[in-house]
Every structure is written in C-alpha cells, then in structure tokens.
Amino acid sequence: MTTATPTAPASRTAPAATSRRRSSLRGGLAPYGFIAPFYVLYVLFMIVPIIAAVYLSLTEWVGLGTPTFIGLTNYMNLASDSSFATALANSLVYTLIAVLVVVPCALLVAQALNTKGLRFRDMFRVAFFVPMVLSPIVIALIYSLIFDRDYGLLNATLNAVFGLPNIDWLGDPTLAKLAIGFVLLWRTVGYLTIFFLAALQNVPAEQYEAAALDGAGRMRTFFAVTVPGIKPISAFVIVTSFISAAQLFDEPYLLTKGGPGESTISIAMFIYRAAFERQQFGYAAAAGVVLFVIVFAVSQGLNRLLGIGRDS
C-alpha cells in the first residue's frame, strides 16, 4: 500500500509570495513618499517658472492678450542696449564690493568677537546683527538723511570737523556707487559675521596650541590655522554674497532710483523698469534669463575654484 507525500497547496504559497512582494514594494517606495513634497514644490516653484521665463523671453508681450513669438529678437536687442550694459557693469561693481570688501570685513568682525576675554561680547553681536532685521525702506530713509547734500549728517560732520564743503553723495555717479556699497556693507556684514563666528568656534583648539608651540605669530596662525579651518564656510559665504549682490535691487532703487542718470542701476532694476514701467515683459524676461545664466555660471565656477562639493 503506498501513501502519497502531502504537498503544500500552490494556492497558499502564492498569496504569501505576493504579500511579501507588496510589502517589499511599499518599503521601497516609502522613502520616495517622504521626499516627494520637496520635489513637487521644487518643480512647481523653480522648474516651471524657469521654463515659463525662457518661453516669455522669446515673445513680445505687454501683459495683456496673447504673447507674440519673436524668437531671439529680445536677446539681440539686449546685446546692443547701452542701458543693459551699464546695468551689467554696475552689478559687477556691487558683486566686487560684496565679495572683496563685505566678506573680509565680516571675517575680521567675527575674529574680533571670537577673542577670548572680550567684554560685552553679546551686546556687540546683537549690535552687528540688528541692521539685518531692519526693513530696507527704513535703512534707505536713514541713509538718505545721512547722505543728503544740504542737510545730511555726514556733510554736517565733515564741515564741522574738517571745514569741507557740502558733497553730493547721491548725485555724483562715482560717490553714489560708493554710498550704495557702504549701505550694503552696513546691512549685511553682521549677518555674514554669524557664519564666520560659528566656523571660528569649530576650529579645534589643539591646532592653535600646536601653532603656538611652533612659535607662530598671530598673522601666521591666522593664515595657517584659521583660514584653512573655516574654508568650507568661507566658500559658502563668498558664493551666497555674490548671488545676493548680483540681484541687488533695494539699495539702488530706494537711495538713488538708479541715478544720477543710470549710473547706479542694477540688472534687477533694469528688469523692473522694463517690465513694470515700459510693459516690455518679454524683454524683461530675456534680461532675467541672462542674469540667471551669468549667476549660475559664475557660481559654478566659484564652487569649483573654492572646492565646494569636493571630497576632503
């Protein structure tokens, strides 16, 4: 008499395997579900506007009706537009001030605030950061009074101390750029100081002790220990300062309206005038695309030059 060996029914193993596959699939998709909101918002508020701006830059549109496709005409007009060339040159000056003046000043202030035994340190930190939380309109109003030719505090001080005549700080093309650069310095140095101060406090104390044992002075210690120790933060601050200054709008618009003439107009102001004063939205979009390309290309170049993203 033979007996058959019992076998597990296929109907039982199939649902189990299917259940395992489904749970594995859910486990694999779960991380993507958590990060999906970021990418959805990124596409909606970054990618879509960029595509729309590129398309609009190829059209002629006054804000009403249907845009008329004109190809690269807006870009060719920009290439021969003296106002746009002036705006590019002025924005270059502002970015140089931000990178070559504001960033080093912020580092020096952070170094001073990081000094051991400094009294009233917290008060100084607050004082340097306060300009960043003030409204740009308030700042422009204050400095309009300070730089005023006839009744400004600066001219009154120079006249009382040195006997100098009144200077038209906001009416001279060169002095107006310097005035805007000074306001940019005053407004942003405290904000950048916070990054440098955090970086300085993370430099290992053992490196300073080793430098002291080697007989290194303050300057040598600064360039041999401090600067390499804060390189990642320095690179971040330089790139972000460049991007911010390249899009500068508040100071030129509120202090000088881009004047005298167009001597202080920035690219952001040029875009604003083209779009909202002359209703040339396609032309303004073309200028915005050019600004985006320049900022993106220079930022990538700075990233490579400063070593951002490289493996240490």
Instruction: Report the alpha-carbon distance of residue 34 to residue 262 in Å, rounded.
Output: 49
| pLDDT tens digits, one per residue of 276-288 | 999 999 999 999 9
> Can you give the pTM of this predicted structure?
0.85
Burial of 47 (0-12, 13-18, 19+ CB in 10 A): exposed
At the second CATH level, the architecture of 73-306 is: Orthogonal Bundle (1.10)
Q: What is the mean pLDDT of the chain?
A: 87
Over residues 82-130, the pLDDT tens digits come to 999 999 999 999 999 999 999 999 999 999 888 877 777 778 878 888 8
Confidence category of residue 312, pLDDT binned at 50, 70, 90 = very low
For the chain, the structural domain boundaries read 73-306
In this structure, the number of other CB atoms found within 10 A of the CB of residue 78 comes to 21
Residue 147 near residue 256, CB atoms below 8 Å: no
- Determine what percent of the chain is predicted with pLDDT higher than 90: 55
Provide the token pair at 278.
């002359």
What is the rounded distance in angstroms from the CA atom of residue 167 to the CA atom of residue 224? 44
Q: Where residue 237 falls among pLDDT bands split at 50, 70, 90?
A: very high
Q: Which residues pair with 59 in a beta bridge?
A: 69
pLDDT of residue 26: 60
**Which tens digits make up the pLDDT trace of 125-162?**
788 888 888 888 898 889 999 999 988 999 999 999 99
Calculate mean pLDDT across residues 74-78.
95
Q: Is residue 311's pLDDT more than 90?
A: no
Question: What is the spatial distance between Cα 179 and Cα 145, in angstroms, rounded to a whole number?
Answer: 12
Which 3 state secondary structure label does DSSP give 68? strand
How many C-beta neighbours within 10 Å does residue 152 have? 20
